[in-house]
Structure 1
Amino acid sequence: MRACVFDLDGVLVDSEPVWEEVRRAFVAEHGGTWQPDTQSRLMGMSTAEWAAYLGSLGVAMPAGEIASAVVERMAARYRDAVPLMPGAVETVRRLSGQVTLGLASSSPRSLIDTVLAAAGLAECFEATVSTEEVPRGKPAPDGYLEAARRLEVDPRECVAVEDSSNGLRSAHAAGMRVVAVPHPRYPPAPDALALAWRVLPDLGAFTVESLS
């Protein structure tokens, strides 16, 4: 393993409940209908992709306006407090002294930078990628491939840390070994979890030694 590439939402930040609350309320306020599988579909999508999807639920606004409004609401929530996952800061800081770290996230660049700065983790990552910066969001491998490119490491020599179905599929499609840390509220689908090289109960169990 030459590098480790983290997902952000659901791995380092317990943001999926916040994303669901914010987007669900936005859809309801604008006359749309939230479907039972909406949250699972949205996880991993790029900003442009999920904004277009909210439009398909009946939100009669241009996708760009949807994205701007929702991201601003998320930024406001983060300004109040960033909901870090247990052990996130300690794990990243510990690993950063042992292996090169990258990040491949579906969050927009502005939220990635806000979270990492608030957590004091920005200096731990050699490269960070938003799916805004690549052609396709997860489950396509684009974000992870771009992270490996920026780190100047072969994807096959990288470990990815993921929680969601689309994230697991994305990292696996990029050729990385995937460590799954399933979110208790949003567990990945069994077929996606089966792609994982290791499955860990939480970030506290994630060490370089555990990957040998």
Structure 2
Amino acid sequence: MEACVFDLDGVLVDSEPVWEEVRRAFVAEHGGTWQADTQSRLMGMSTAEWAAYLSELGVRMAPDEIARGVVDQMAERYRDEMPLLPGAVEAVRRASGHVTLGLASSSPRRLIDVVLDAAELKECFAATVSTEEVARGKPAPDGYLEAARRMNVDPRACVAVEDSSNGLRSAHAAGMRVIAVPHPRYPPAPDALALAWRVLPGLDALTLDLLS
């Protein structure tokens, strides 16, 4: 393995509960109806994709206005408290001295930068990609392929660290060896988890032996 590509939401930062709270409240406030499967559908979507989806739920705003409003609220929540997952900073710093690191996230660039700056991890990554910057969000492989391109590494020589169904599918479709670190509140679907090369209970188990 030449490189390791991390997801952000649900892997390094426990943001999925925050995303759900913010978007659920936003939908209710603006006339939409949150469905039972809405959160699972949203996980992995790019900003443009989830904003359009919230519009389909009945939010009476243009998608670009929806995106701006939700991201503003997410940034405010992050300023109040950065919900880094246990072992996240240590795992990134441990890996950064041994393999090239990338990041492929469905978060908008603004929030990626807020998280990495707060955690003082920006210098650890050779490349960071938001799915805002590629044609398709997860489960399409675009974000992971772009991260590999920016690192000048063959995707087949990369390990990806993911938590969600769409993220696992995305990294696998890119040809990467996938390590799953499932989130207990949002576990991946069995068929997606079956794509993983290894399943870990947490980032403390992401050892250098696995990455080599």
Same fold (TM over 0.5): yes
- The answer (yes or no) to whether the contact 2:4–2:211 under 8 Å persists in 1 is no
CA distance in 2, matches of 1:68, 1:12: 23
Q: CA deviation at 1:133?
A: 0.2
Q: CA deviation at 1:152?
A: 0.1
Structure 1 position 192 matched with structure 2 position 196: no
Aligned to 2:107: 107
Q: CA deviation at 1:114?
A: 0.4
Aligned to 2:162: 162
Aligned to 1:51: 51
Moved over 2 A (4+): none
- The answer (yes or no) to whether the contact 2:109–2:130 under 8 Å persists in 1 is yes
Counterpart secondary structure, 1:161: strand
TM-score, structure 2 normalization: 0.99
Runs of 5+ in structure 1 lacking a partner? none
**What one-letter code is carried by the residue in structure 1 that aligns with 2:117?**
A
Aligned length, in residue pairs? 212
Aligned to 2:64: 64
Aligned to 1:90: 90
Deviations along 1:24-50, one digit per CA (max 9) or x if unpaired, are 000000111000000000000000000
Q: How does 1:120-135 map to 2 (within 5 A)?
A: 120-135=120-135
Runs of 5+ in structure 2 lacking a partner? none
TM-score, structure 1 normalization: 0.99
CA distance in 2, matches of 1:210, 1:148: 19
Q: CA deviation at 1:211?
A: 4.4
Aligned to 1:149: 149
Q: CA deviation at 1:207?
A: 1.0
What value does the CA root-mean-square deviation take over the aligned residues? Answer: 0.6
Identity of aligned residues (%): 83
Q: CA deviation at 1:210?
A: 2.9
**What one-letter code is carried by the residue in structure 2 that aligns with 1:81?**
E
Deviations along 1:39-91, one digit per CA (max 9) or x if unpaired, are 00000000000000000100011000000000000000011111000000011
Aligned to 1:177: 177
- The answer (yes or no) to whether the contact 2:87–2:203 under 8 Å persists in 1 is yes
Aligned to 1:38: 38
